[in-house]
Amino acid sequence: MRLDFKKELNVWGLYFLTIFISIYFHELGHCIPVWVKGIRAIPTPAKEYILETIPADLQQKVSLGGIIGTVLITLVVMVLFLVKKFKYSSAVLAGVLAMPGMYTFRFFLVGRGHDASEFQEAQAALGAAYEGHLIDCLFLALFLAGIALWIFKSQPKLRITGRLAIGFVLTVIFVIIHQVVNNAIFDPVFL
Ligand SMILES: [Zn+2]
């Protein structure tokens, strides 16, 4: 079987572009609660920089804002996938499920979906137990719902498993490099 390179390029390009956009949505979500208060904040592709010291309760809302950003963009793409199909819609769905998937993977691996205390802060903002796993479970549910939707709509063949494994490894590498490069560029500017 000959590989169609143009198609491969489109699929993977669109997949990683969607991850990039979904992470940016997350960072935008972090900034909104402080923008509302008139405090300056810069969303960069992988991190938000808040240019003033903010009180703890606002920090909790900042954490929650990022979570809401990720959840919203994931739900919007899932609904679009359900109602409108185009040639590469599976790649876009996979891209938007990548972060919920990474959080879930990290949750199973080390017991927390996110480093530092972002999920705990967001839980506190929601009035849930600080040390609980509400947000971990939320992303687990979102990820599973997305997978179920994909299987239901696309009825993938079993031979796709190899591609999924490659995709998983590339995604871990992408997310790490994305963060490292982002911080290398913007930390010296804003910190
Ligand atoms: Zn975040």
Q: What distance in angstroms lies between residue 65's CA and the mean position of ligand 1's atoms?
A: 8
pLDDT given at position 4:
86
Distance 183 CA to ligand 1 centre (A): 13
Predicted pLDDT at 123: 97
Over the stretch 132-185, which tens digit does the pLDDT of each residue have?
A: 999 999 999 999 999 999 999 999 998 899 999 999 999 999 999 999 999 999
pLDDT band per the 50, 70, 90 thresholds, residue 2: low
Distance 10 CA to ligand 1 centre (A): 28
C-alpha 80 to ligand 1 mean position (Å): 24
Q: How far is the CA of 72 from the centre of ligand 1 (A)?
A: 14
| DSSP result, the chain | ----HHHHHHHHHHHHHHHHHHHHHHHHHHHHHHHHTT--EEEETTEEEESS---HHHHHHHHHHHHHHHHHHHHHHHHHHHH---TTHHHHHHHHHHHHHHHHHHHHHHS-SSSTTHHHHHHHHTTS-TTS-HHHHHHHHHHHHHHHHHHHHH---GGGHHHHHHHHHHHHHHHHHHHHHHHHHHHHHH-
- pTM of the model as a whole: 0.94
* pLDDT, tens only, 65-78: 999 999 999 999 99
Residue 30 Cα to ligand 1 middle (Å): 7
Confidence label for 1 from pLDDT (cuts 50, 70 and 90): low
Distance 26 CA to ligand 1 centre (A): 6
Domain ranges of the chain: 5-190
Compute the distance from residue 60 Cα to the ligand 1 centre, in Å.
11
Residue 56 is predicted with a pLDDT of 94
User: What pLDDT does 38 receive?
Assistant: 96
